[in-house]
Structure 1
Amino acid sequence: MTSARATPSVKELAATLAHYLEKISGAPFSLETGDGQAGVVVGTIADFPGLGLDADFELGDPTQREAYLLRSHANGVYLIGATELAVSHAVWGLLDRLGYRQFFPGRHWEVIPRIPDLTLAVDVREAPDFYGRRIWYGFGDWSDNRADKAAWDARNRVASGLSIHSGHAWDAIYSDNRAEFDAHPEYLMSKQPVKFCVSNQDLRRLVVAWALAAFDKNPQRDSISLDPSDGDGWSNPDGSCPDGTVYASVSDRVVTLANEVAAAVNAKYPGKYVGIYAYFKHAPPPTIQVHSNVAVGVATGFITGGYTFDQLIEGWSRQGATVGVREYYSVVISHKDRPGGLPAGDPRAIAARIKRQYAQGARFMSAESSNSWGPGGLGYYLAARILWDSEADTEALINDFFEKAFGP
């Protein structure tokens, strides 16, 4: 059952649930519209104001956008989400409880149980431990596999209720403001790769204006990236930019700009984030405080300064940053999809790392991967499950995989 006010996407989710419940039970399930008092009720909390479930949701908290309620009662069961994304999670979360699995992309890795006498007793409110969960293809996101990967993401609740953008961004800022940069060469320390002269106050004003314009255009966005362009270029052989003497480190330069933008953006649009990586030359923790709305994805590879990941995430947290992880489950040009040669090929290690990263305060995950489901699929699958629930039992998940995919 959906509400008369349900959106097309919610109606589609209800139809998907009916389709799979029919396959599981062998009984027909019809799609109806109503007030939610009976039946399998699918929708957002706003769709069913008469159910009195508002106390189960924290609608003003952006970290709770993916929360959903599964509650059985004498006349049916509620699948109610804080948002449409949460409704999707509720549908797949319910099916998961019934034994449905989509271990890897594609129909051959879909497990649909057969339960003729279908019953369910449940009363849970669920939300992910990591607010942002991305397992993305660095290479291999092609038209012939995109739909299967998107379906795997949805069915394993790999999504971001709070979306933190932190990819390399300075090239885009340069491109969007090319005339200004051409007129003011002093704004740059390097053109190839693009590196800003952060100590230049007018450069910082330009970047602030660029960021504000992005939020003006789309006030619903959660964040904007200010991560530097990839590569080196932080030295200044001709001495035209004084950043090397003004700031104690490259990280301090990056944080100075990110802090200024975060302050300006939050003055106009409270609760928004500026995303950066702790990566390469700006991996070491800064010597200055980090604005609390600067979200830092701490890289697990390609870092400098002699730091371990543990030292980096603890150091950035100590300076006030909101922290996440920039992971490398598979980099195809490095790992070449060799069995045992990519991090995702060690699923227990992936699971242990996520659990430790959560304990260290990480709440966002951006994991570069590849279309390498043979050597890395179980690692990807475990990552999806443990990013949702950091207390999930790793061995139970592995046993469930082998039993359902290959038989007991």
Structure 2
Amino acid sequence: EFYMMKYIYMKRVPSNDVIVALKRRIRHVWIACVVGCSCFAISSIGASDAQAQTAQNTQNGYLEQGNALYNQRKYDEAIASYIKSIQMTPRSVTKAYLNCARAYSMKKNYAASDAFYGYYEEVESTAAQDRKFKAEYKAMQKKARNQAFVRDASQTSVLQKVNELLLAQGPFLTRQGNGVLAYYDVLLRTGYAAPNLYAIQEKIVRGLENELVADITPPVGQPLPNLDRPGWEFIRNKVAKARQFADVAPNEDLLGAIESTARAWESYYRGDYDEALERFETTCHAKTPIPAAFWGRIIVGFQKDKNDALLSQIDEAERVYGNAKIGGVAHYFALLRAQVYRNLDDMEQSLHWLNRMQELLP
């Protein structure tokens, strides 16, 4: 308690070195921030119209290339092109499934052909009413009755690993190359192509969004996130990964708020508090609120001695945390208020909130 009170009655937010020293002596640290917010809204596809158009041209390019190879009776090469188109957009270019089925049929691989006819029926909404397709598919099913479509062991093994990592929720991107995205790339290199690639892509994007929110959030017991070394480039790289799938639209409002918050922390770390405050303010008024931005605005406010505005900002941040259903942080907000009143030389209110903080300790 002695060290906690000593910490409270400092005029400014202490350095990380001071925090580390205090954590060795006291059980509860001054500041912790636990932020986890999941956003499930879907916005426009891709980072921009130009990027989306480029992706569309590429996927259609593989389809057209496959058609040209099919007409030349180069069925193996045609299948490879169709599979590339499917892997890029498992839901959009539905014709690639149908043409792939026809190419397999020409190779007399009726089991694989039957599988891709089934995929086409799954992704193409008009297939069920298309009499010509139904007759074509029925004829193929007769040929496929004595064959079994079996995926090779490498595809099955990697797909299982991807699913395990997705269930574990990460890591989605690691320097060691053993995250979900690394195994997903391996899966594609095996030639895997099926509609469930879309579900995997969607899980990767949502997981990356959640992981990015955690990246810009201070860990428990620290006032700042661990972005002083990897910094903005680390966040930008991961944001690009979240935008890589043409069929899956990331939550662009959320990604924009994440980028703005990351840039604000970058400004804070290099000591540009004016720029940091401006960026945090922008994010606080964004369409998708990021609790870490409200926290960061408070931290910068202490550095700039903006005590008059801090109390209302603390109130607003506490409401945002409540709306995000983030619990177990009430005592930290009480401690922040105690610090503000101490800076304003209102000892009575400062002690009141210090006592309140101790009452709220979990």
TM-score by length of 1: 0.28
Larger Rg: 2
Higher strand share: 1
Q: Which has the bigger relative contact order, CA under 8 A and spacing at least 6? A: 2
TM-score normalised to structure 2 length: 0.30
